[in-house]
Every structure is written in C-alpha cells, then in structure tokens.
Amino acid sequence: MLKLEDNERLIRVGAGKPAGELMRRYWQPALLSEELPENDCPPVRVRLLCEDLVAFRDTDGRIGLVDAYCPHRRAALFFGRNEECGLRCVYHGWKFNVHGDCVDMPNEPSDTPMRAHVKILAYPTIERGGVIWTYMGPHAHMPAPPDFEWTRAPATHCFGSKTVEDCNYLQAMEGGLDTSHASFAHNNHLGNNNTLRNMDTAPRADVETTDYGYRYISTRKVDESRRYVRIYHYVMPNQQMRGAFTSLLGDGHDDDPHATPKSDGHLWVPIDDEHTMVYNWACGRDQSAPLSPEFRDRWESWAGRGPHDLIPGTYKLKCNRANDYLIDRKIQKTQTFTGIKGINTQDYALQEGMGPIVDRSKEHLGSSDKAIVALRRLMLDAIRAVERGEKPPGLDPRSHRNIRPYDAIITGDRPWQQAFAEELVAKW
Amino acid sequence: MLKLEDNERLIRVGAGKPAGELMRRYWQPALLSEELPENDCPPVRVRLLCEDLVAFRDTDGRIGLVDAYCPHRRAALFFGRNEECGLRCVYHGWKFNVHGDCVDMPNEPSDTPMRAHVKILAYPTIERGGVIWTYMGPHAHMPAPPDFEWTRAPATHCFGSKTVEDCNYLQAMEGGLDTSHASFAHNNHLGNNNTLRNMDTAPRADVETTDYGYRYISTRKVDESRRYVRIYHYVMPNQQMRGAFTSLLGDGHDDDPHATPKSDGHLWVPIDDEHTMVYNWACGRDQSAPLSPEFRDRWESWAGRGPHDLIPGTYKLKCNRANDYLIDRKIQKTQTFTGIKGINTQDYALQEGMGPIVDRSKEHLGSSDKAIVALRRLMLDAIRAVERGEKPPGLDPRSHRNIRPYDAIITGDRPWQQAFAEELVAKW
Amino acid sequence: MLKLEDNERLIRVGAGKPAGELMRRYWQPALLSEELPENDCPPVRVRLLCEDLVAFRDTDGRIGLVDAYCPHRRAALFFGRNEECGLRCVYHGWKFNVHGDCVDMPNEPSDTPMRAHVKILAYPTIERGGVIWTYMGPHAHMPAPPDFEWTRAPATHCFGSKTVEDCNYLQAMEGGLDTSHASFAHNNHLGNNNTLRNMDTAPRADVETTDYGYRYISTRKVDESRRYVRIYHYVMPNQQMRGAFTSLLGDGHDDDPHATPKSDGHLWVPIDDEHTMVYNWACGRDQSAPLSPEFRDRWESWAGRGPHDLIPGTYKLKCNRANDYLIDRKIQKTQTFTGIKGINTQDYALQEGMGPIVDRSKEHLGSSDKAIVALRRLMLDAIRAVERGEKPPGLDPRSHRNIRPYDAIITGDRPWQQAFAEELVAKW
C-alpha cells in the first residue's frame, strides 16, 4: 500500500512533475534505429514523457529529435520534407537542422532577422545498441551516454524490439521486477512441476542496493542439495537486466529459444502517464555464437511480440485489451495458467488489466513484494535528491558498464557470490 | 420540469450518492443465470451501480460476486481461474471463495498471517427467476430476497433477457412507465385505428400509491359502452410489471405473440450514471400453457431484442445510436410511426436520443405525464427516508408477492376493481 | 504570437462567448439546400455554434431550423415525422411548425392550454445560393439577408459544397487567408518554376481595411516588366472570396479546371469549438459560360473533395487525420511538396495537424502573416464593438454586394486599381 501522495509523485512524468524531472536526468530511448532506416527517410512521430516530438535522420545520417510543431504557425512537422540536411515544414517551407536552427525561411524576405533568432526545440541524441537515445533534462546536468553491456555488443549478437503498453510505466515495471508471478502467470505447462520455478512458488528474495539501483537475488529450493538462484539488476530509473537460464520457463524442446545463453531485459519508457513504450533487448553471452535473425524471430514470437503478433504498421499487439488478449478458457483449464499466449501478452493482460493507473492505496503487499517496495523507495529517494539539487544515483556509466545478470542451479553450500563470480561480469 | 438539484439526486448511482444509496437497499439483478451456465465456468465482468465486479459460479454451484481486482496488486480477476471452489488470480495465485475469504496465497510462506486478514469485497447473491440478484447495501439493512410472482414461476413458464441501454436508468424507466407514447412510438400499423390504443390517444390516467410503489390505471374509450383499462405496477425502486392484453399492439396474425396470455416487465438496473442494463421478463399466466423456446424467440424478436438482434457475444443491439437504429424513412412515411423496427429499439431510439442524461430543466410535463411525476416523487421521498435513517418502501417482499398486472376491455359500468378482482392476484 | 486571453476570446463560439456572440450577429450557413432535397423529406441534424438543431423542409417548402429536442420530454426530433407542414415528435406526437409553434399535442386533452404556450426554439432561415442560412442572434439586431454576388448567380453558373474539418474555425480560416503557403503546401509540380507562385515565394502583401472586412493584395514579381497581382476579400466574420486566375496552380492541361474564369471562396462555419463546417462556393464570371455538373465534379475532385473523396453519407474526407491523409512519401520526394493529394486535403493536414485548437502563444509571425494579423485585429475589434452594444462591421449587405475578387498579371507600371477597375466589380 502506497500513500496517494507518494503514488502521484511516482507516476506523473510530464515536465515539472517529480518523476518527470527524475526521468529527464537520464538518457532515454526515443525510438529504435530501424524506425529511421536510411538518410532522408520519412520523419517519425515520437511521444515521450508527455511531449510530442518528431524524429528524422538527415542527409548525413545525423538524428534530429525536435518539437512536433513548427514554431512559425504550429503545423505538424510529421508531414515535413526530410531533405538536404534538415526537416522542412510543408506549410511555408521553414527548415530546421538537427540542432534546431532555422536554416531556411523562404516565405520571408531573404534578409529577415527572424531566421537568426527562431529556433525549434531540439533534444540531443545518440545511437547505441540499435536504439536512439535522447536526453531531455537541463543541459548542465547531461550525463555521459549510456554504456550498458548490451549497447556495446555487435548487432550480430544483440537485438531489440518495442511494444506499446496501455498503462503507466510503473505498474508495467513492477510487473517486470516481480519474480514470483513467473510461477503462476507464466506457467505454460500445467501439471509439470519439473520446471524449477514451479517447484517452489514462494522463493526467498534478497535486495541489495547498488550504485546503479539494486541487485535482486531470488533463491528457490530444487532438492536437498541444490538451489536455483536468479540474479537480476534494476538499473535506475527504468531498466531491468535478466539472466540467461530462463530455459526453465521453456518447453524443453530442442528448438526452445531459452537454451541459447544470453541476457535480456526491458526498459519501460513513459510515453505519457497512461502509456508506456517497452523496449526489449537480448544479448548473446557467448562471443562465438551470434544470434541469427531466425533466432530473434523465434524468441520474440515465443514472448508474444514477434513479427506476426503486431498490428501492421504499429508497435501494438494484436492480442490486446479490446479482445481480452484472446484468452482461451479451454486452454486455461487444461494447458496454461492464463489461457493467454505469449509471456509478453500475459504480462500486458495483468498490467493493463489494472486500468491505466493502478490504485495502490488498495493493494496488500507481502514478503514476495520486496523488489517492488525497494523499487519505489529508490525512486522516491532519487526524486527527492533531484528536488534538493543533488544527483540521483546511476548517472555515471561506470556504475553499470560492467554488470551482467545471471541465474543457474547451485549444488552444495557454495555462496552465489562465489559460484557466479565470473558470470556476473560483462564480457562485451 | 425538475429542479437541477432534484435531478442530480435522482440520477447519480455511485456509492454515497442519494439514488445510489437508495438502490443499494434493494436486491438488484447482477446478471442472468445463463451467463454462468455451469460450475467452474469462466468468470464474467459485471459493472453495477458504478462498481466493477466479477461474477463466478464455483465448483459447488455457488455464485460469487467480488471486486474486479485482486487485493494483492490489483490484477483483474476476470482473467482468473475458476477452480476448486474459488476464483484464483493468475498474477500470483491468490484465491478467493464466494464469501471473499482468501483460501490460498501460494507465493507467500505457508504460515503467513496475511492469509487470515486479507479479504476481497464480496456481495451476497441469490438466484431466482433466471436472474442472479445481489445486495450491495449495509449488511444490517439487508431485506428478505425478492419474491415476485415471475421469480416463482417455473422455467417452463418464464423467461428473461437483457440488453444494454446507453443512457441513465431514470429516463429509460420513465419511458417504460409512460403509457401514452404507445399510441405513437409503437404504432406499427399506420392508418389502422382498430388497435385500441390508437382509438384514444389521450387516455385518462390514475396513479394509486401502494406499499410497493404504485399502481397505474389508464382508461381509453373504445366506444359508447366499452372501455380499455390497463393496470401496471411500478415496484420500487426500478421495476415495472405489465399486463397481458398487449395483443392490441400486435398485428392480429395467428402467430402474433401477444395472443398468449402472460405478464411481462422490465427492471432498469444502473450500470453507471450513463448506462443501464435493462432486464426483461415474461411469465405465462396460464399454468397449463408453457412458454416454448420458439415462443420466447418470437416474442423477443418482435420486441427487437431477439437472438439475431444482438451483436454476437454482447447484450448490445445491432440497431443502435451509431447507425440511427437503421431508421427507414420510407417505412416511416407509409407503415410505422417511427420507421424503426422493434418496440424495444423504438424505445431505445427515444431514450438514448435524449443524450446520456436528459436535461429535465427543459421539459414541459402535461397531464399525460402523471406516472412520471409520481415516480420521481416516490423516489425522492424514498431517498429522503434513507437519509433520515428510515426504511424506504417496498423492502418487505410481502408487499409485492401477490401482485399481478392486467389489462382488458370492460363492457358497461363495472368498476375495474370488480371486473379485474381475480386477474390482479398472483397465481404462481 | 497571441495573448492567451485574446485567443480564448477569438475561438470560443458557444452562446455567451465573445466570438460566439459576434458570429450570431451575422447570417450563417446552416446546411446546403441539397440536404433537404424536397418537401417533407427526412429532417437533418445540424450542429452550429455549439447548438444542436434539426432542419426540415415542410410541405410548403419552408425551412424549419429548430431545437434538436422536443420541449415535452426531450426526445430527439431527428427521428420525427416531417408531415403536413410540421415536424412531429415520434415519442408522443407533439408537432411544431417552422416558426416553432406547437400545432398538435395529441396525447393531451384537446382543450389543453399547454398547446398555446409551449414553443420550440426556432431560428429564422433564408435560402440563397444553394445554401440555407440562419440568424441565431438577438431578434432586434437581425440584419438584412446576405447578398453576395455568388448568392445572386443562377444555379447554372454557381455551385457549392461542404466538408467537415476537425479543428477550430479560426486556424482553418487563417489557412485560407494565408497566401504564401500556396507556393509550398500546394506546389504540386516540384521543379517547375513556371507556375507563377513558385517564381517568387516571398510576395509583397498589403491589407486594406474596408466596410466589409479587408481587401488583400499580394504582388509577386514575374520578370522585369511584369508582376502577378492577387486580390482577395475577407468578408466579416468568416468568408473569403478569391480570384479566378488560379490557373497558375493548375497543371496547364487543356482540361485544367483553373482555365475557366470564375471566382470561388469559403465560409468557415463553426460547428463547435473544435469542429468546423467549411462551405465552398464557385461562381462563373462569364454570364455566357455556364458551369456544367461535369465541371463541378472536376473542380471539386481536383481540390480533393469530389464525390469520390467523401465517406458515403457524410461530408467527411476519406483522407483524414486517422490515416495521415494517405501521405505518399515517394510522391513527396519526387512530385509534390506534401505527398498529399488534393489542395483541400493538403490544407486539412496542415490545419488539423495543429491539434483541435492551435497554441498561438508558441507561434512566430513574420511579414508574410500580415493577413492573419489583420484578421485577428478585425475580429477582436468587432467583438469589442458587440460588447459595447455597437454594430460590428459588414452587417449591411450594401457593403459586400458589389465586390468581386480577381488576380492576373499586370504588365508595366499600371497600378492594379486601374488595371483591375472593371474586374473587381460584381456582374451578377
């Protein structure tokens, strides 16, 4: 249960709102590189932290991310012409470069002083890991760019995707950081207690605060001599990195995509208070084993967000709230816990099903919700730090550049710190 | 014309609102029995008096009606598993029985004290007359269950249906209690003045207040020696019972469903302030003459809410506001008064056509609106009674258990009390 | 840039709002004559200046424009029967004539005094130029009917159309009065600098205030000895009249509809604050050359609002905001400035793309926006005049009855006043 006042501080992401200002202190994904596939390609609408923007890749490959509306008379730059190193409004031909400078104003006399002083809002961008990142906070506070292991891996070993979720980022992220629901919501083999997560539905959980956020350790008993230990990272303010041993969720077939050793994760990026763009990444752990495009499609499809799962031309799921995620009650009786296909879709059903903004004054948290409680506390502390004029945690890329998540079975009494010592260090 | 303040008191049905609190003192239909066709069948969403709930029929056939959201983290229980005498949330497996007790909490340690004190909001239910009723008011004020004649009749002689209406319950109910519109809106045989209601378009109306609400008597002159008398009941707070002689509305063909002697009626149950679930019932008066499924379909189709009139998978009409109820202007010129097919649909066009909440400050009531005025007065009085801590009328089922509606032609001067003495008494 | 307060005064059009009261001092188009094609035809919904109305053509051909709701119990008169010189409500049969008198009240006793005093709100109407006009202001201030040249031309030489635009009337009208965007948004022949408007993208502009609004003169240099002069009229409060020489926008083919000498124009009529009905008219200048129906279709189709461009049964464009106006990025690269087909559709993309109400506090006006600035000043002055109890400009039809727009190339130093002296005078 969270006080209404604290909830409000956590969920509102517009400029000037507590969580909005916190989010603006970090580099955030604005769109996927694939959305701007070539120089001078069509501009793309971006809504981010309640702001309407438009992105374009200019003639030299630079990325612009500017106000959605022309400063002249507020026509939509989405309809603009992306040409000769700038985006040109089709109303009166005003043209802006990636820095927001007005480089042409053809409907005014050629000597107009206006051209020099008219600018369009433009945010800095950087392209890493198949993602175009932006920084929307005060210029003086701009941190060094993100430097996660997966953003350094080559495209042969890393891929990304994104899907729209129709609820606030926090309840979506809370679903991601929650470990114990995997035994239920994602149990896709009813009656099969051989999947490790099903053996012990009430794992022990530990949360260790770090420079970048926290490290979460859940421990499930397998049998008298073995335990399954899962370690994931919460990276401030809105990323999760998860381990490779999720084959335990798989079906055990030879083509189960879980068998491939990799890390994966999500970033829950607020579109606005009631919509979230979830960025998904996966990164091979084995430098000698590239992740093929076929693997990518198989993995994404298994999650429920593959090429055939999206409404064409959008990043929205075909199975969505309007059609009850195509729940199949017969399959729910006999095969899977939810009757909903795809882990990603299962999560959306649960997170969107709460309504756009969950009423946290009515919740009842238990010991299994330790990660959720820690998340909220860290976020509230960081918000207060920003309000006091201090730096929130995790801005320095050195805090996160070497981390890697992991999970595996440990035999005997070896502590995980020792058993996983090598596995928890980034290799890319 | 109604004062804005009184209108507000009558139309708002959320908890804590005057009419909302009044409605909560009576048993209300929550759904049809047929919506939960068997034990452990899929749960069903119910929105009632502005509250979001979910209904389920458990392994033993008991009906649960509980909060739509799990008290743990507010996942939607609609996606839940209905199994082994309880509804289980698919997020973390918490499970609740029909009384709202938490009977399983598998993601917490087995000795957690939380299980004992966590409950989910659960309303009592009872199943009668093909309807699942619930009571949402203070426990101490719970009345005896409803005991209308039609709820006692066997399923062979009684049937029900429901359709969603996109307006406030009061303007829908006012349409039902209004007698004089039948001569106009429901005149489906233009130029045929042999239907009795068309003979005399300005009937005399009398309203007699009773223990359960009121009895309404309309009298139309047929000729010098005969009069057509129609008696219906308004049963507090939102039911109407109507007579059998509605063959006068029919087409006179042999298969006219009006020829079968029966009572029928409606309950206008608020979904919220701007949506109403209209429950329809019909009950044979003749114990030796069952109402067949074919008859049911014929009757419902005649009204415009038959099996082919609903959008599949919903209780919404195919002919609706978005398509102007498929009004046919040529038929309106030549055959029927409205050009709209189906009495039910005609009523919806008129009632929804006012907008979700009609502006009663702009109306001009005449002598034909006596029933409407009486309805509002009774409701306002009952609201005030509840506010004063008193009982509103009609709670005691003895007040309504013996009533039956009726209408017929009376020849000569016999008063209707004498002519109808036997017909107005319940037989089931 | 406009002060928020002034913007609010200009854009709100409901009764009692500053711009709403100004608009109500002028005759306004309510619907096209073709929408009521014959006596006793079906009534038509009209939403105008935030008011919901219904229009009908009675048995004698008179036009009624009355409140959308029956004064009895507020049923929608759209479903009414238009018969025997009046519109009859299908709820209880109350009937109203074009003046708003209740001429039948069949569900009340025949001697009811109600009939005499119940009236329905009815606005006066007049039919001119294929348009049904209404006056919604105070009776004492009703001006003489509109008397534009195009409303006097015979149907053989004049035609009209209308389309819905999903934004405030002011930003739509500002788009119409803006001259310089034609060189950009409406450049449909990329690389062809032979169209005059493309030769000089920063025309000189002059605004001359008149009794009816203003006259706008733009001058583009063609070559050393020639200039292209365009004169249009802004007629208070929401009309533009444009010249005939728009062949310069055309494609130069023999069947280019611009080659036909005519005037054309728009009226931007507020439906409500966020929706506008744009009325379009065209009027032949040559009395010996009628405008054929084929010409009409060709002209309207060229603009993007022809018979095949509308969603059937509506006045809405198939190419609209929901489908990004079917912008074709390849055509935008190679053939037209916007990649959007149809001048009308191009304008809608720009005007609706700003959102329903543009944020004028963020605009940066230049010298090319002289017409926009003059428009706002005139409107604000007129609003203040009405507030002071004075007459706004342009009410007297004598102020506009003789005007005609024009544009052409002038060779040498002749002033346009002399060169166009004859062309700027109405001939119909």
C215 vs C210: CA distance, rounded Å: 7
In order along chain B (428 residues), what is the average pLDDT of each group of 10 residues?
Answer: 92 98 98 98 98 98 98 98 98 98 94 93 98 98 97 96 98 95 90 64 89 95 90 97 66 65 95 98 93 94 94 97 97 96 96 97 94 97 98 97 94 95 95
Q: Average pLDDT, whole number, for chain C?
A: 94
Closest residue on chain C to A83 (Cα): C333
Is the separation of the CB atoms in A91 and C347 below 8 Å?
no
- Nearest by CB to C91, from B184, B332, B372: name it: B184
Using a CB–CB cutoff of 8 Å, tell me whether C75 touches chain B: yes
What pLDDT score does B179 carry?
A: 85
Q: Residue A324 contacts by C-beta under 8 Å, 6 or more apart in sequence? A: A349, B78, B79
Using a CB–CB cutoff of 8 Å, tell me whether C287 touches chain B: no
Inspect the interface and report whether the beta carbons of A201 and B76 lie closer than 8 Å: no
Inspect the interface and report whether the beta carbons of B367 and C91 lie closer than 8 Å: no
Instruction: Tell me which chain A residues have a C-beta less than 8 angstroms from the C-beta of B107.
Output: 180-181, 183-184, 201-202, 366, 368
C259 vs C244: CA distance, rounded Å: 8
Burial of C83 (0-12, 13-18, 19+ CB in 10 A): middle
Inspect the interface and report whether the beta carbons of A93 and C183 lie closer than 8 Å: yes
- DSSP annotation of C370 reads H
Q: Partners for B (CB, 8 Å, 3+ pairs)?
A: A, C
Is the separation of the CB atoms in A396 and A143 below 8 Å?
yes
Inspect the interface and report whether the beta carbons of B78 and A363 lie closer than 8 Å: no
Least Cα separation, residue A415 to chain B (angstroms): 23
Token reading at B28: 């209300």
A209 vs A123: CA distance, rounded Å: 32
What pLDDT score does B191 carry?
A: 78
Greatest mean pLDDT range, A301-310, A401-410, C13-22? C13-22
Asked if residue A222 has pLDDT above 90, the reply is: no
pLDDT in tens, A228-238: 999 999 999 99
**Which helix or strand (DSSP H or E) is residue C121 part of?**
none
What pLDDT score does C251 carry?
A: 53
Q: Which residues pair with B216 in a beta bridge?
A: B207, B232
pLDDT in tens, B129-160: 999 999 999 999 999 999 999 999 999 999 99
In B282-363, which residue ranges form alpha helices assigned H by DSSP? 293-303, 329-334, 343-352
A372 vs C274: CA distance, rounded Å: 43
Chain A to chain B Cβ contacts (< 8 Å): 87
C58 vs B331: CA distance, rounded Å: 19
Instruction: Tell me which chain C residues have a C-beta less than 8 angstroms from the C-beta of B329.
Output: 42
Token reading at C284: 């032949």
C-facing residues of A in 116-145 (CB < 8 A) are 118
Burial of C102 (0-12, 13-18, 19+ CB in 10 A): buried
Q: Residue B121 contacts by C-beta under 8 Å, 6 or more apart in sequence? A: B66, B67, B100
Is the separation of the CB atoms in C240 and C234 below 8 Å?
yes
Instruction: Tell me which chain B residues have a C-beta less than 8 angstroms from the C-beta of A339.
Output: 79
State the average pLDDT over residues A96-120: 94
Inspect the interface and report whether the beta carbons of A366 and B93 lie closer than 8 Å: no
Using a CB–CB cutoff of 8 Å, tell me whether A384 touches chain B: no
Closest residue on chain A to B105 (Cα): A202
In A178-323, which residue ranges form alpha helices assigned H by DSSP? 196-199, 293-303
B249 vs B407: CA distance, rounded Å: 12
Place of tokens 């409303």: C151
Asked if residue C423 has pLDDT above 90, the reply is: yes
Inspect the interface and report whether the beta carbons of B337 and C90 lie closer than 8 Å: yes
Inspect the interface and report whether the beta carbons of A184 and B90 lie closer than 8 Å: yes
Using a CB–CB cutoff of 8 Å, tell me whether B26 touches chain C: no
What pLDDT score does A254 carry?
A: 56
Inspect the interface and report whether the beta carbons of C350 and A91 lie closer than 8 Å: yes
Inspect the interface and report whether the beta carbons of C91 and B185 lie closer than 8 Å: yes
- Nearest by CB to A366, from B75, B76, B114: name it: B114
- DSSP annotation of B80 reads -
Least Cα separation, residue A143 to chain C (angstroms): 29
CB-facing half-sphere around the CA of C85: CA atoms within 13 A: 6
Token reading at B78: 């609609």
**Residue ranges per structural domain of chain C:** 28-134, 149-419
- Of B129, B127, B168, B210, nearest to B405 by C-alpha is B210
Tell whether domain B28-134 is in CATH 2.102.10.10. yes
pLDDT in tens, A248-288: 555 555 566 777 889 999 999 999 999 999 999 999 998 99
How do strand B262-272 and strand A51-57 relate by DSSP bridges? unpaired
Q: Partners for A (CB, 8 Å, 3+ pairs)?
A: B, C
What pLDDT score does A344 carry?
A: 95
pTM to 2 decimal places: 0.94
Least Cα separation, residue A304 to chain B (angstroms): 17
Q: Average pLDDT, whole number, for chain A?
A: 94
Is the separation of the CB atoms in B363 and C73 below 8 Å?
yes
CA–CA distances in Å: residue A281 to residues A32, A156, B118: 11, 13, 38
Inspect the interface and report whether the beta carbons of A110 and C359 lie closer than 8 Å: no
Instruction: Tell me which chain C residues have a C-beta less than 8 angstroms from the C-beta of B180.
Output: 92, 107
Least Cα separation, residue A72 to chain C (angstroms): 5
Does the bond joining B237 to the residue before it have cis omega, within 30 degrees of 0?
yes
What pLDDT score does C196 carry?
A: 55
Least Cα separation, residue A62 to chain C (angstroms): 19
State the average pLDDT over residues C131-149: 98
C61 vs B205: CA distance, rounded Å: 39
Which residue of B184, B319, B340, B357 to mutate against C (max C Cβ within 10 Å)? B184
Token reading at C90: 């299908």
- Nearest by CB to B359, from C72, C74, C105: name it: C74
Residue C65 — pLDDT band, cuts 50, 70, 90?
very high
Question: For the ranges C40-44, C349-353, C366-370, which has the lowest average pLDDT?
Answer: C366-370
Least Cα separation, residue C359 to chain A (angstroms): 8
Q: In CATH, which of 3.90.380.10, 3.50.50.60, 3.90.1150.60, 3.90.228.20 is domain A149-419?
A: 3.90.380.10
What pLDDT score does C84 carry?
A: 97
Q: What are phi and psi of A366, to 5 degrees?
A: -120, -165
Asked if residue C52 has pLDDT above 90, the reply is: yes
pLDDT in tens, A313-344: 999 999 999 999 999 999 999 999 999 999 99
Asked if residue A179 has pLDDT above 90, the reply is: no
Least Cα separation, residue C338 to chain A (angstroms): 6
The ipTM assigned to this model is: 0.94
Using a CB–CB cutoff of 8 Å, tell me whether C363 touches chain A: yes
Question: For the ranges A200-214, B113-127, B351-365, C370-384, which has the lowest average pLDDT?
Answer: A200-214
Token reading at B130: 């093909």
A-facing residues of B in 38-67 (CB < 8 A) are 42
Asked if residue C189 has pLDDT above 90, the reply is: no
Asked if residue C94 has pLDDT above 80, the reply is: yes
Least Cα separation, residue C95 to chain A (angstroms): 43
Q: Which residues pair with C219 in a beta bridge?
A: C204, C229
State the average pLDDT over residues A159-166: 97
Using a CB–CB cutoff of 8 Å, tell me whether A252 touches chain C: no
Is the separation of the CB atoms in A55 and A43 below 8 Å?
yes
Inspect the interface and report whether the beta carbons of C92 and B340 lie closer than 8 Å: no
Residue spans of beta strands (DSSP E) within C36-140: 44-48, 51-57, 63-67, 81-82, 87-88, 95-96, 102-104, 125-128, 131-134
Chain A to chain C Cβ contacts (< 8 Å): 87
Instruction: Tell me which chain B residues have a C-beta less than 8 angstroms from the C-beta of A353.
Output: 75-76, 78-79
What pLDDT score does B245 carry?
A: 60
Using a CB–CB cutoff of 8 Å, tell me whether C36 touches chain A: no
Using a CB–CB cutoff of 8 Å, tell me whether B385 touches chain A: no
Q: What are phi and psi of B247, to 5 degrees?
A: -55, -20
Angle (deg, nearest 10), helices C293-303 and C343-352: 40
- Of B166, B161, B175, B171, nearest to B321 by C-alpha is B166
What pLDDT score does B258 carry?
A: 72
- Of B97, C363, B369, B339, nearest to A72 by C-alpha is C363
Q: Residue B254 contacts by C-beta under 8 Å, 6 or more apart in sequence? A: none
- DSSP annotation of C298 reads H
Is the separation of the CB atoms in C86 and C104 below 8 Å?
yes
Inspect the interface and report whether the beta carbons of B107 and A366 lie closer than 8 Å: yes
**Which helix or strand (DSSP H or E) is residue A105 part of?**
none
